[in-house]
Amino acid sequence: MARDAIPSRLDSMPPGPVLAAFLSCVETDRLSTPDRLRVIRARQRMISHLSAALMADLVSVVSGCAEDDEVARDDHEAAVEFATTEVRTALNLTRTAADRRMEDAVRISERLPEVMHALRSGDIDLPRALCFDRGTEHLPAGVARTVATAVIDDASGLTTGQIRARLRKACAEAHPEEARDRFAHAVDRRRVVFYPTTDGTANLEASDLPPDRAAAIRRRIDGIARSLHGADGRTMDQIRADVLMDLLAGGWSATGQTTTGRATVDIRVDLTTLARLDDAAADLDGYGPVIADIARRTADRQHDAEWRFLVTDDDGRAVASGTTPRRPTATDRRLVEQVHPTCAFPGCRMPARDSDLDHTVPWAEDGPTTITNLIPLCRHDHRIRHEAGWRYETTKTGYRWTAPSGLTYDVDRTTRRSRLRTTGGPSPPDP
């Protein structure tokens, strides 16, 4: 079947009337898979553009109410409230939904102009824009804008989870005192909640725990569960739940406890932070960015544990590594985990220690089992790589993945940022 060709300039067409007119004429069932994906990306740019326009329209209603009502003219909160009521009735929304939409629009427009510009330009979508709003709403306006500006340039190549992690780190570093206060107040609210479900079961939730303690608990439960997996027909989720119940109810046997040893915590932290020379945020494996105080407290608790260190250059490339002499390890996995904290597939944040190690040059093709030929891939992405036709090659800063469609994605190992290479893969000529 003959395929229509999409002009290569589609990837650089800004959202607006011209792009909208072009997309309205596209018949996707006549396109190749790479071109269908390019059309999807173009439509997403248009959706982002219209989302920004809708936010601007919502804010304009606030201005209109301020002009038309004497009370709202001198009271911004009243203007927002009156405008929200107008929008709620016009769109048939609940009051809660209308309040949230208006709050998002006003806050992003007034506090985060760079985010609004990126949304209007189609560089990010609405979920990413809302990540910036939610992630900085607790900060003073000036600090919020500084934090957003530091992250926005990379946002188009980051998943929402990666954006939230970047924002948490940037917030902690930009306003460390506020981060410490928020953490202390949140920990003061720690609690365990028990409630029944409509299915006749019960839920048990622990909230606002210190992240280092929660990560250690999670690691211990996972370790015991992995040691038991395969012994019967239970899934990993079922085993984790059973392990938690047995541990808390006192039903876990001594034999079961000795299968995994002491719970471990992995945290990546700058030496300058440990030395109290700065308050740079650290990264807690399986959780994400934590404030400097948590990093130092975690390190203090591990004074008798094995320490692994990694020395990097200014670009984040490893130049040396090792362990403290108390319990040195000879396994390459530890070094690979230090160099590659997460799965190397575009957008994936699965911790390396929970991932498989993949041979860049396959073992079947005489690829060596060395740290230079191993990268972590989570089980799902490892299978995708070998069964679905994805392939990758190493670059100076990370990896270049090629999809079965022919499109290529660059992953920056130092920033975990992924970006579609519009020059990669087959590109049909302009008609």
In which band, very low, low, confident or very high, does the pLDDT at 13 lie, cut at 50, 70 and 90? very high
In which band, very low, low, confident or very high, does the pLDDT at 191 lie, cut at 50, 70 and 90? very high
Average pLDDT, the chain: 83
For 282-296, what is the mean pLDDT?
A: 82
DSSP β-ladder status, 308-312 and 318-323 = antiparallel
pLDDT, greater one: 55 or 177: 55
Report the amino acid identity of residue 317: R
Cβ distance 321 to 338 under 8 Å?
A: yes
Cβ distance 55 to 105 under 8 Å?
A: yes
Query: Does residue 298 form part of some domain?
Result: no
- Exposed/middle/buried for 35, CB within 10 Å: 0-12, 13-18, 19+? buried
In this structure, how many other beta carbons lie within 10 angstroms of the beta carbon of residue 153? 12
Enter the tokens of residue 410: 């660059």
Q: Do 72 and 15 fall into the same domain?
A: yes
For 11-21, what is the mean pLDDT?
A: 93
Residue 349: what pLDDT? 86
The number of domains in the chain is: 3
Residue 48: what pLDDT? 97
Cβ distance 61 to 86 under 8 Å?
A: yes
Least confident range of 35-44, 60-69, 327-336, 354-363: 327-336
Residues 81-112 have pLDDT tens digits of 888 999 999 999 999 999 999 999 999 999 99
Query: Does residue 85 form part of some domain?
Result: yes
- For 205, list phi and psi in degrees, rounded to 5: -125, 135
Q: Do 159 and 73 fall into the same domain?
A: yes
Report the amino acid identity of residue 401: W
Query: Does residue 356 form part of some domain?
Result: yes
Residues 48-88 have pLDDT tens digits of 999 999 999 999 999 888 777 665 666 778 888 888 999 99
Q: Do 16 and 155 fall into the same domain?
A: yes
Q: Do 15 and 161 fall into the same domain?
A: yes
Residues 313-349 have pLDDT tens digits of 777 677 766 655 433 344 678 888 888 888 999 988 8
Start-to-end CA distance of the chain, whole Å, equals: 18
Domain residue limits at 225: 210-257
Report the amino acid identity of residue 374: L
In which band, very low, low, confident or very high, does the pLDDT at 364 lie, cut at 50, 70 and 90? low
Query: Does residue 233 form part of some domain?
Result: yes
Query: How many CA atoms are closer than 13 Å to the CA of 34, on its beta-carbon side?
Result: 24
Q: Do 91 and 146 fall into the same domain?
A: yes
Q: Residue 428 above 70 pLDDT?
A: no
DSSP state at residue 208: S
Q: Do 252 and 321 fall into the same domain?
A: no
Residue 416: what pLDDT? 62
Q: Do 55 and 88 fall into the same domain?
A: yes
CA distance 199 to 22: 51
Q: Residue 105: helix, strand or coil by DSSP? A: helix
Q: Do 20 and 166 fall into the same domain?
A: yes
Q: Do 66 and 135 fall into the same domain?
A: yes
CA distance 44 to 420: 14
CA distance 65 to 387: 58
Residues 142-159 have pLDDT tens digits of 999 999 999 999 999 999
- For residue 290, the cross-strand partners are 282
pTM for the model: 0.67
CA distance 338 to 321: 8
Q: Do 322 and 253 fall into the same domain?
A: no
